[in-house]
Amino acid sequence: MLTRLPFTLLFLAVMIVANSLAGTLSGVLSESALTNWGISHLSIRQGEVYRLISGTFFSHDLGMFLRQVVFAATVIGAYEWTQGSRRAVLLYVSIDVIGTLVVIFAILPGLVLLHPTIDSEVYADFDVGMSAGGFGLIGALIALLKYRWTCLFVVCVAIAVKIWVSFDAIADSAHLLCLFLGFAAQTALNSYARKPNVAQL
């Protein structure tokens, strides 16, 4: 059974090791780990592209770590189990990276320009977590369902409620964007797979 989930197991193992070393399991991610491995608009502009991957595996505190372990195990595990390891890796990584870049270089500047409570200081804020790619896989899993449009609508409403209650410019933008990226990517894969004589990814 576990041999069908190598990506999920490796992902969880890296999360556990990274957060153990960074002090998250003792309560809070250390400030040095956040600034050394987290991602921000300014750090990517400075060429530190490794942060697009490194920031994925850390959590801000123990509560977030526990939630994200369950989230990663469930969402990555479900997609890898049904679609295979290679497709899970390709879809998760591509959506996480592309979605993050779009958020920090397109959506975030727009929010700074238009939102009354968000200023340019947000460009220097470091963030961590795996939820961008995770929401991408939620979108992909929804695209596999019979009632996919209804399910997509329900998840969008849930995100909208969360935004209304407590808006996080980077996280909420990434969640909504990556949800649609994952849905679109899986829809395209579904259509591609229906063509005759097409090898599966």
Is 122 within the bounds of a domain? yes
pLDDT value at position 200?
55
Is 198 within the bounds of a domain? no
Is 200 within the bounds of a domain? no
Average pLDDT over residues 164-170: 93
Q: Say if CB 102 and CB 177 are below 8 A apart.
A: yes
Is 178 within the bounds of a domain? yes
Is 14 within the bounds of a domain? yes
What CATH number should be reported for the domain holding residue 90? 1.20.1540.10
Q: Give the model confidence (pLDDT) of 141-166 as tens digits.
A: 999 999 999 999 999 999 999 999 99
Please give the Cα distance from 98 to 12 (Å, whole number). 22
| Token representation of residue 90 | 């390709």
Please give the Cα distance from 29 to 19 (Å, whole number). 7
Cα–Cα distances in angstroms (integers) from residue 100 to residues 55, 93, 166, 175, 176, in the given order: 11, 11, 20, 10, 11
Range of the domain at 100: 2-193
pLDDT value at position 1?
67
Regarding pTM above 0.75, the answer is yes
Q: Give the model confidence (pLDDT) of 61-84 as tens digits.
A: 999 999 999 999 999 999 999 999
Is 13 within the bounds of a domain? yes
Is 26 within the bounds of a domain? yes
Is 137 within the bounds of a domain? yes
Q: Say if CB 108 and CB 31 are below 8 A apart.
A: no
Name the domain count of the chain: 1
